[in-house]
Amino acid sequence: MATKTKRSFDTRIDIPEESREKLVELLNARLADSFDLYSQLKQAHWNVKGSDFIQLHVLYDDVAERVLGYVDEIAERATALGGLALGTVRMAADATTLE
């Protein structure tokens, strides 16, 4: 018999559990998108070619690092609400809305 794994944990935050679960779901959706964006920026950073190489190489890396800060912030907010941050590469690839 399959049992449902509890996906939220007790917290001192005074928000009803149902609301926290909805917020965590929204945060995890944005986590997937932001982590996907980060990986796409790194892909561009590693593979840029041409006469503008250095400018684009530096730009893509700078933007990727800024996005990574948001990835961390989103994940930590999800866990602060008592949820799980679904932040592996595989999870992001499965859940992203980016193309």
Please give the tally of structural domains in the chain.
1
Asked, for residue 12, whether it belongs to a domain, the answer is no
Which of residues 4 and 46 earns the better pLDDT score? 46
Instruction: Please tell me the pTM assigned to this model.
Output: 0.86
Asked, for residue 73, whether it belongs to a domain, the answer is yes
Residue 71: domain span: 17-94
pLDDT at 8 over 70: no
CATH code (residue 43): 1.20.1260.10
Asked, for residue 55, whether it belongs to a domain, the answer is yes
Asked, for residue 60, whether it belongs to a domain, the answer is yes
Choose among 11, 29, 24: nearest CA to 84.
24
Asked, for residue 4, whether it belongs to a domain, the answer is no
Q: Which residues of 30-62 are buried (b: 16+ CB within 10 A; e: fewer)?
A: bbbbbbbbbbbbbebbeebeeeeeeeebeebbe
Structure confidence at residue 7 as a pLDDT band (50, 70, 90): low
Asked, for residue 58, whether it belongs to a domain, the answer is yes
pLDDT given at position 10: 75
Asked, for residue 57, whether it belongs to a domain, the answer is yes
pLDDT given at position 14: 85
pLDDT in tens, 28-87: 999 999 999 999 999 999 999 999 999 999 999 999 999 999 999 999 999 999 999 999
Residue 70 CA to residue 67 CA, distance in Å, equals 5
